């Protein structure tokens, strides 16, 4: 049962006492100024009085004590804290390492056991993740110092406050307002906003206001300024030999400005400052001239004053637990942080009162001040923390997107010779992604690979000369190296941040020998240790090594996002404060969240459910789903496994057999490009473009009719059946189990077709009868002939033409025929177990029989690729032939091809593209809300892509629903592919309603 005294009944004598005693808090309330005073000075005094009147003198002392708690320790620790709470009635807790649910459970227990509600605090400079697992890690303050948009930092403060409140935390020991003007500072450094006092103040103000506007007490630290020290106060006592003028003009400036704007609390540092107090080995925390004299009297600070942790060696090496606490209290501090001996502390304070070193009235005034803060923080109406959904709430999409925005805004581009960034003409580059400092693939390398083909290399700090020479040799064939510097030491010191001479030598030589882009994922001061860095073609300061910084740095390099950050400190003569070049984003895909385009992550949750339903009903063993809106990929996921054996999970980079999506991705891509160049006309005939059709019944078929499937062509021809004898075996001159000069063309594993068999297929098409009745009949036949048409026009073979003119220039490098030539089998998702023709599981070779017999290359089927690269091609279509600032399909050709050609005749197809059927008609080719202007195509293997120019959408769904058999058509019956897209439309509609 909670023992909170939320409104204790007062005796007549107590009421008289409270009337005659006027605390400093009460006096302050009379002239409370919400613009400048700490917010809790406006607390309800009724509650403060009622609680205070029930406290014994010992309990009033205990209210000033905050003890350290860990949620990753054993039951003995948990119970020991309980004992301190119940026995001594301590005023607060500071939580250290652990996890949010464990911390919440402990907090609930202690709050129920306490007499007066506990003030709970945490060191969360970069959010709860500074101490707790399973939480969002916001950027270090040094990175925030590089951000120009301070509203983002306010939003971060607000979000951190929301998370603190959700976890039952009331005070966050942030922001750090130390002006870091010493690059060798071993304890602050990356924790500071930078070396400019004005920038530090602006950033700290935004952070403070964000928290306090959301009812969490901010705490400026470390008074009077810890930014120019070369000793870590955790291990020793720094000595600051500045003049008072210097301290006043630099170190104290941010504190003073925050105090003018309602700073709720601050923390006093453990530093020896002779100009303020020349007592030998005395930390500022224990100095009355500094805490009471300078801070409270001279500067007039009214907020809560916390000591820094009293178990740090800056004070602990000179005084025993309990003794150090009473000295801190005598100095003028209000809250004793990390009291290690509560019993002794209370006894020593009582002795100090008895000795006249401090009065009971002074202790009482501080106690009432703490109670006032507790009331403002809502502890007069404490409610237990709800642990259900706690982790999800702390990792909410708003926080994740805000974190992404902060990192993006901080990334600082320090060199960009000849505007190498964002990278252009990627098809002319052979790119090596080098990870310096690690041997494991990095998030940076994976991020780069989303844009084009990159080969990965690694340089460990301990590399031998032989290994360095071997790596140098391997990199000779590349004309661009993108190097990430990883796993450096976070703090300054004698180790040069962990940069070895070998690393330096290699990078220096690399920069001298070829175009090199360097991203440094580390403390920004480490840039000074990297020789010749200023000679690199591009240099990105990322400030820290997180998956997010690496992801976004890779996006900056390829123009998914722009560069915005400014250096908040001077590194050396080459990299100075304020440096930071700007680039524009939007050149290629950005990879982000639905929130980036005004949608909500939660509104797309139905996608997971729909895919899960399809997999549960065995409509497909796995899938890839990608959604891009406004040129930003807002959803990109892989689901399930390659097969129902559940042995290999689907990765977003795995390749799927596109089936008939091949038609719009190969044949149509070529036709549109050629049309834009005036080399292909849909009103000319098949016979004009393909001489072999002259004299046949196909000669005069117009391509406008062919591409809308109303040219009376048969839907398909089962070519493979002509190769089989009555006994089920292949005819002698068709297939062989081994390749040879006469049978060089691979159809499937251990199955090779005669080198001239393609002619029979083309002849069969030429001789096939036309349908008797005119009208729409979906046909593969013209698309089988498309590669011949393209080759006849261009003089290039079909695959080479597509790769060189479209796929590689836009970075769609996984789009390929016959992926077994370029990829490992485990990167390719299998399709059907073919029991009739090829008698095997089709894996790495095309599913479609006709395409297989043509050696895997056809215009109707045969293309493989992943969702990311197919989306690039679809984005090219959405942009009407433009991508990354270049035009690949000219003359508004895509717009022309994607329009309905014969709607008045009941044929709702575009040229090659599928479109929504007649409005109101039952159809499964498009989502119900897909506008009439949208277009796309589906594939027999379970693939689907859709382009919506009205809502600026690209959608890709890849699956292998034909595994293990094509007879399984559940995916179509469930309408999974179109229903997933409908979730997006519903989310768009919902966002419009919210905006209205």
The catalytic site residues sit at 234, 308
State how far the Cα of 611 lies from the Cα of 624, in Å rounded to an integer.
9
Distances (CA, A) of 741 to 272, 494, 736, 745: 87, 67, 11, 9
Q: 302: which residues sit within 8 A by CB, 6+ positions away? A: 28, 37, 38, 41
Distances (CA, A) of 814 to 395, 889, 939, 963: 33, 20, 18, 22
State how far the Cα of 739 lies from the Cα of 967, in Å rounded to an integer.
31
- How many Cα atoms are found within 13 Å in the side-chain-facing hemisphere of 513? 14
State how far the Cα of 684 lies from the Cα of 705, in Å rounded to an integer.
10
Q: What are phi and psi of 984, to 5 degrees?
A: -65, -45
Contact 857/817 with Cβ under 8 angstroms?
Answer: yes
**Tokens found for residue 223:** 């008074």
Contact 605/412 with Cβ under 8 angstroms?
Answer: no
Q: 509: which residues sit within 8 A by CB, 6+ positions away? A: 472
- How many Cα atoms are found within 13 Å in the side-chain-facing hemisphere of 507? 33
Torsion of CA 285, 287, 292, 298, to 10 degrees: -100
Region label for 342, one of left (φ > 0), alpha (ψ between -120 and 50) or beta (otherwise): alpha
R_g over Cα of the chain: 35
**Tokens found for residue 521:** 């994922």
What's the per-residue H, E or C state across 132-171? Answer: ECCCCCCCCHHHHCCCCCHHHHHHHHHHHHHHHHHCCCCE
**Residue given tokens 């976004």 in the structure block:** 552
**Other CB atoms within 10 Å distance of the CB of residue 707:** 24
State how far the Cα of 287 lies from the Cα of 300, in Å rounded to an integer.
17
127 DSSP 8-state letter: B
**Tokens found for residue 934:** 């949208």
Q: 20: which residues sit within 8 A by CB, 6+ positions away? A: none
Q: What share of the chain is helix, strand, coil (3-state, %, to 5)?
A: 40, 15, 45
Q: How deeply is 151 buried, as exposed, middle or buried, from its count of CB atoms within 10 A (0-12, 13-18, 19+)?
A: exposed
**Other CB atoms within 10 Å distance of the CB of residue 453:** 16
Contact 302/258 with Cβ under 8 angstroms?
Answer: no
State how far the Cα of 139 lies from the Cα of 149, in Å rounded to an integer.
14
State how far the Cα of 82 lies from the Cα of 64, in Å rounded to an integer.
17
Torsion of CA 566, 569, 571, 576, to 10 degrees: 50
**Residue given tokens 């400093």 in the structure block:** 24
**Residue given tokens 């293990």 in the structure block:** 964
Q: How deeply is 211 buried, as exposed, middle or buried, from its count of CB atoms within 10 A (0-12, 13-18, 19+)?
A: buried
**Other CB atoms within 10 Å distance of the CB of residue 871:** 24
State how far the Cα of 746 lies from the Cα of 754, in Å rounded to an integer.
9
CA angle 438, 443, 447 (to 5 degrees): 130
């Amino acid at each position: 049962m909670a023992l909170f005294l939320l409104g204790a009944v007062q005796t007549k004598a107590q009421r008289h006492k409270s009337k005659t005693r006027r605390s400093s808090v009460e006096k302050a309330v009379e002239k409370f100024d919400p613009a400048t005073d700490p917010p809790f000075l406006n607390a309800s005094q009724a509650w403060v009085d009622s609680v205070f009147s029930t406290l014994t003198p010992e309990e009033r002392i205990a209210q000033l004590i905050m003890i350290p708690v860990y949620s990753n320790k054993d039951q003995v620790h948990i119970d020991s804290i309980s004992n301190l709470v119940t026995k001594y009635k301590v005023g607060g807790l500071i939580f250290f390492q652990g996890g949010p649910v464990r911390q919440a459970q402990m907090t609930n227990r202690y709050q129920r056991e306490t007499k007066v509600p506990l003030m709970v605090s945490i060191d969360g400079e970069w959010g709860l993740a500074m101490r707790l697992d399973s939480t969002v890690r916001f950027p270090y303050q040094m990175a925030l110092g590089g951000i120009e948009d301070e509203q983002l930092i306010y939003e971060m403060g607000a979000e951190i406050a929301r998370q603190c409140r959700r976890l039952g935390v009331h005070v966050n020991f942030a922001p750090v307002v130390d002006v870091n003007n010493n690059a060798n500072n071993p304890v602050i450094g990356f924790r500071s906003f930078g070396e400019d006092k004005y920038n530090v103040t602006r950033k700290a103000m935004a952070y403070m206001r964000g928290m306090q506007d959301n009812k969490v007490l901010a705490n400026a630290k470390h008074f009077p300024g810890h930014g120019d020290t070369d000793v870590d106060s955790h291990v020793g006592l720094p000595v600051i030999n500045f003049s008072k003028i210097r301290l006043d003009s630099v170190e104290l400036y941010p504190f003073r400005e925050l105090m003018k704007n309602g700073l709720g609390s601050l923390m006093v540092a453990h530093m020896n400052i002779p100009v303020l107090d020349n007592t030998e080995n005395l930390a500022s925390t224990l100095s009355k001239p500094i805490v009471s004299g300078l801070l409270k009297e001279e500067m007039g600070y009214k907020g809560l004053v916390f000591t820094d942790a009293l178990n740090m060696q800056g004070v602990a090496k000179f005084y025993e637990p309990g003794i150090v606490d009473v000295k801190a209290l005598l100095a003028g501090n209000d809250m004793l942080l990390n009291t290690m001996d509560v019993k002794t502390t209370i006894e020593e304070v009582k002795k100090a009162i008895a000795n006249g070193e401090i009065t009971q009235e002074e202790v009482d005034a501080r106690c009432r001040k703490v109670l006032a803060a507790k009331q403002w923080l809502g502890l007069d109406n404490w409610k237990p923390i709800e642990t259900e959904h706690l982790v999800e709430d702390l990792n909410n999409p708003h926080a994740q997107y805000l974190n992404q925005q902060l990192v993006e805004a901080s990334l600082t581009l320090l060199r960009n010779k000849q505007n190498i960034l964002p990278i252009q003409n990627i098809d002319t580059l052979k790119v090596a992604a080098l990870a310096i400092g690690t041997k494991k693939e990095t998030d940076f390398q994976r991020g780069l690979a989303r844009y084009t083909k990159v080969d990965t290399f690694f340089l460990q700090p301990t590399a031998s000369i032989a290994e360095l020479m071997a790596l140098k040799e391997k990199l000779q064939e590349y004309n661009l190296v993108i190097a990430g510097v990883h796993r450096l030491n976070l703090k300054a010191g004698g180790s040069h941040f962990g940069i070895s001479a070998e690393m330096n030598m290699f990078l220096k030589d690399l920069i001298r020998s070829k175009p090199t882009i360097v991203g440094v994922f580390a403390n920004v001061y480490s840039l000074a240790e990297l020789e010749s860095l200023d000679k690199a073609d591009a240099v990105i300061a990322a400030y820290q090594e997180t998956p997010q910084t690496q992801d976004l740095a890779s996006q900056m390099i390829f123009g998914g996002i722009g560069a915005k950050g400014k250096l908040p400190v001077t590194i050396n003569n080459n990299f100075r404060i304020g440096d930071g070049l700007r680039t524009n984003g939007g050149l290629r895909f950005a990879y982000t969240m639905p929130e980036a385009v005004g949608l909500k992550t939660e509104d797309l949750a139905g996608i997971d459910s729909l895919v899960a339903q399809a997999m549960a009903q065995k409509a497909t063993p796995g899938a890839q789903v990608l959604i891009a809106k406004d040129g930003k990929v807002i959803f990109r996921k892989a689901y399930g496994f390659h097969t129902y054996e559940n042995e290999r999970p689907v990765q977003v980079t795995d390749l799927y057999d596109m089936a008939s999506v091949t038609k719009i991705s190969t044949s149509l891509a070529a036709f549109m490009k050629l049309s834009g160049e005036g080399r292909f006309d849909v009103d000319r005939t098949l016979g004009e473009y393909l001489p072999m059709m002259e004299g046949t019944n196909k000669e005069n078929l117009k391509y406008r009719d062919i591409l809308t499937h109303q040219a009376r062509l048969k839907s398909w021809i089962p070519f493979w059946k002509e190769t089989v004898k009555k006994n089920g075996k292949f005819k002698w001159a068709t297939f062989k189990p081994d390749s040879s000069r006469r049978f060089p063309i691979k159809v499937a594993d251990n199955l090779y077709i005669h080198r001239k068999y393609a002619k029979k297929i083309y002849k069969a098409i030429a001789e096939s009868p036309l349908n008797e009745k005119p009208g729409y009949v979906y046909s593969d036949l013209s698309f089988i002939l498309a590669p011949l048409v393209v080759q006849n026009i261009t003089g290039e073979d079909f695959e080479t033409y597509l790769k060189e003119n479209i796929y590689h220039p836009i970075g769609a490098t996984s789009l390929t025929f016959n992926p077994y030539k370029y990829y490992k089998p485990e990167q390719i998702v299998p399709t059907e177990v073919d029991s009739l023709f090829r008698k095997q599981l089709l894996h790495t070779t095309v599913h479609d029989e006709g395409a297989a017999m043509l050696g895997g290359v056809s215009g109707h089927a045969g293309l493989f690729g992943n969702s990311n690269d197919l989306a690039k091609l679809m984005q090219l279509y959405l942009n009407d032939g433009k991508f990354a600032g270049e035009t690949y399909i000219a003359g508004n050709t895509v717009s022309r091809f994607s329009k309905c050609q014969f709607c008045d005749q009941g044929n709702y197809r575009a040229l090659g593209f599928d479109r929504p059927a007649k409005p109101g008609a039952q159809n499964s080719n498009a989502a119900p809300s897909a506008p009439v202007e949208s277009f796309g195509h589906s594939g027999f293997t379970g693939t689907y892509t859709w382009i919506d120019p009205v809502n600026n959408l690209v959608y890709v769904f890849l699956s292998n629903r034909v595994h293990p058999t094509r007879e399984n058509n559940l995916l179509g019956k469930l309408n999974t592919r179109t229903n997933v897209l409908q979730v997006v439309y519903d989310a768009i509609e919902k966002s419009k309603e919210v905006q209205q």
